[in-house]
Structures are given as structure tokens and as C-alpha cells.
Amino acid sequence: MKKLIKIFIVVIGVLSFTACETDFNNINQPAEDQVLTTKAGLLGVSVGMSQNFATSTLAPIVEIPGLTTRELGNTLTYVTPGELVAGGTLLNSDNAGVTRLWSRLLRDKGMAESILANIDNVEMEPGTKAGLSAYAKWFKAMTLGYLIQNFEQAPINNDPNGASVFNTRGEVLSECINLLESAKADLASTAISAEFLAYIPNLDLQNVVNAFLARYNLFAGNYTAAISAANAVNLSSVSEWWYDGVTNENPVWSFAVFNDPDTKPQDNFGLTGSYIPEVGDGRIAFYLSPVDESETDFGLHNVDNALGFFDTASKSIPIFLPGEMLLIKAEAYAMSNDLPSAVLNLNLVREKTNDVFGVNAALGPWTGNVNSQTDIMDEIFKNRSIELFMSGMRFEDSRRIHPNLVIPAGGDYFIERNRNYYPYPFDERENNPNIPADPSI
């Protein structure tokens, strides 16, 4: 895999990554058709987009909404995290963090689109083509999904002229689901070749596709489909972003742990009131290491050191957690008014002691009101906030489960989330005539 990173360094300059793009000529770069018309080139692009996502794009996916939802606090007086922690209308469209999140996701999505646009024109073994096609479809669905978790609308397809058409949340989620169903069909038609697996290791693609189908069907309100997809996931399967800690460092470690960082996890996962984790919850010690209680962030919260998947430069990060599948089923059953099944799956998370990644609450069954959908959903939100800590999910979860939260325009340091969606980056607005109006909050 290290040899293929060299391909990525060459490729990254010639593909379209963002909705708005300025072209610069570089005589030292190969023409795009030289990269995208060979099997080695397409496989190299797949390695490149994986590497770029794992080491670069994943950082703002975790950090930016983490600051908005109190998972994370800023310990220094930098403008970018300060605006995110304040939220409301104080968050500007030129915020560097929001811009990073937007541009890096669009860049990676563009790489997946380039593979899909060219794969049928390149001769390769059927099993290599099936794997590459399914992987690119999942990758595009994943990047689209992270976009719509943070922005009110997003372009399904990048435009090389910088004039992408924006799509609604419903349209984007439908496209995510369609891409993943198509990826499933690819995998069902032909077994993945050893050649493809040599390029993309550490990934159980069949289970990853089903896991993301469960996720996006839940977000779309397709509860029966979400349960079916979650049931199809082997909870013992392992798929991870891998790091060697030297040339490829864990990006969350880089911003949240290394060298006296300006961003750290908040006490109690940033949860307050009835959502504070119970004494004895094993996930506290898994994810957090207490520090001197006098150390606070600029939102006036105490902060901790990050553990879990983030405490060293070489720690791998799961692509999905098995607990998410159980919580997807719990929520889908609750929203379908099958409250006993919802509580059953909720308790499977609370009582779990054999998680393949070690994320074990090891608590007793929930003792709340099992006949109240609202109470069950609140407990699901609490457990999603803890189980899926620093995964980039809480912004979406808060908005979906608590849609009526009143957010002060002037910002707030203690509210569950201080925005509903982010403003579109200033550069996108300056260059793309199709960009919609910013959300008010």
C-alpha cells in the first residue's frame, strides 16, 4: 500500500475535488486521461482517496460538529474554534473549520466520481471491477452522507466548472441509499478479487455497505429498511482506517491530543442534566482520561484527555461501530412504535461486555419508562452520544432526535447544539451561482 501512495500524490492534482474549482496548469502532472484510463491508475486513485480521507478529511468530520455539540471544547483563543463553540449567527461563512469540512468532503467525493465515470472504459478482472465499483459507490455515499449531516443541502455531483447544482436533504439521502444498493448488487454479482483486496485492505466491504445502508435509511425515516440493513451486519466484523504513526498519523490524535492541543473532549462527553453518563459506565474510562479540574475551555466547561481510538498517532479508527447498529434498531423500532423491541436493543448496548472494539458500557438494563417513546428516544440519544463519541454523528443525532430545540441567535455555550446547519463557505458562494441561501441558524 505504501508504494501506491506515490500514485496518489500524482493523482491528487489532476482530479476535480470541489464544487467550485480554479484550474492551474502544472507541466509536471500527467494528463487526467493518463490516470483514469488504466487499471493501475484507477486503483491508485482508490488508494489515494482512502488515504486522503483517513488522514485529512476525517479530522474536520469529528472536530467541527464536535465543537458545535459540546463533545469538544477549545482551550485556546483561536478564532475558528471560538466561533464554532459560540454558534448561532456568530458563526461566519468564512470560518476556516467549516470551509475545511466542506472542501475536503467534496474533494474526496470527486475522486470517487472520477472512478465511477471511467471504470467501464478500463479492462480489468471482473472481481477487481466489482470491488472497485462497490468501493467507489460506498465512498461517494459516505462523503455525501457526511455533507448532509452538516449542511442543509449539498451537490450530489461535483461540477468541473464550479457550478454544481445543490440537492435537498431528501434527495441526497436517497442518492446515498441508491449508491449503496448498487454497491450491494456489485458485490452480489461477482466475488471481489485478491487483486482489489491487496489495494484496499482492512475493510469488510459487504458489512460496511450494510452498515451505511442502515445509517442512511434511519436518517431518511425508512425504519423497516434500516432494521433490515442493521440485521445484515456481522457485529464481529472489523473495518478500520489504519495509521502507521509516522507518515500516516491518526488525524484526531493530531488535533485533540498532540502537542498541547486547542481542542479537547469535554467532561461527561459534553452531556449535562439527565444525559450525564451513569457511574460505572465502562465507556467513560474507554474514551476519557480526567485532567486537573481547573483546566477549562472557553465555553466554561471542564475538559478531559482523549483516549479510545485517538490517544496515539498509530491507533486505528473504526469505520463503523457495532453499537451503532443496535442503536439504529432501537431508534427505528421506537419510531415505529414497537417500544419493547426498542428497549431490547437499547439494553443490548447498555449491557454489552464483548464489543469487538472494546466499547463496553457493562451496565444493567434501563430502568426508565418503557412505555414512553419520548423517554426511550432520550435514552437512545444519550447512548449514541457516549457509544459513538467523537465519530461526527452527534450533530445529526441532536437535530434528528431533538428537532424542536430552540437555539439562541446570539450563541450559547451550554445548549445541546448551537446550530442546526452550517453556513455554506464564503468561497463557494463567491464562485457557484447555484448555491442556496444560508440557513438562519
311-357 pLDDT, tens digit per residue, is 999 999 999 999 999 999 999 999 999 999 999 999 999 999 999 99
User: Grid coordinates representing 9?
Assistant: 500524490
Q: How far is CA 141 from the centre of its chain?
A: 11
Q: How many CB atoms lie within 10 A of CB 347?
A: 18
DSSP-assigned beta bridge partners for residue 317: 241
User: Grid coordinates representing 171?
Assistant: 434527495
Residue given cell 500516516 in the structure block: 248
pLDDT (0 to 100) of residue 307: 98
Residues 6+ apart with CB under 8 A from 424: 93, 102, 151, 435, 436, 438
Q: Which pLDDT band holds residue 301 (cuts at 50, 70, 90)?
A: confident
- Max distance between CA atoms of the chain, in angstroms, equals 67
Residues 6+ apart with CB under 8 A from 206: 184, 187
CA–CA gap between residue 321 and residue 247 (Å, rounded): 26
Q: Which pLDDT band holds residue 19 (cuts at 50, 70, 90)?
A: low
CA–CA gap between residue 70 and residue 414 (Å, rounded): 8
Statement: residue 25 has pLDDT above 50 = no
Statement: residue 293 has pLDDT above 70 = no
- Are the C-beta atoms of residues 318 and 357 closer than 8 Å to each other? yes
H/E stretch holding 241: strand 240-241
Q: How far is CA 173 from the centre of its chain?
A: 14
H/E stretch holding 288: strand 288-289
Closest CA to 357 of 313, 383, 388: 388
User: Grid coordinates representing 439?
Assistant: 440557513
- Are the C-beta atoms of residues 248 and 316 closer than 8 Å to each other? no
CA–CA gap between residue 96 and residue 303 (Å, rounded): 23
- Give the torsion sign (CA, 266, 85, 155, 60): negative
pLDDT (0 to 100) of residue 123: 97
CA–CA gap between residue 156 and residue 181 (Å, rounded): 16
Eight-state DSSP code of residue 266? B
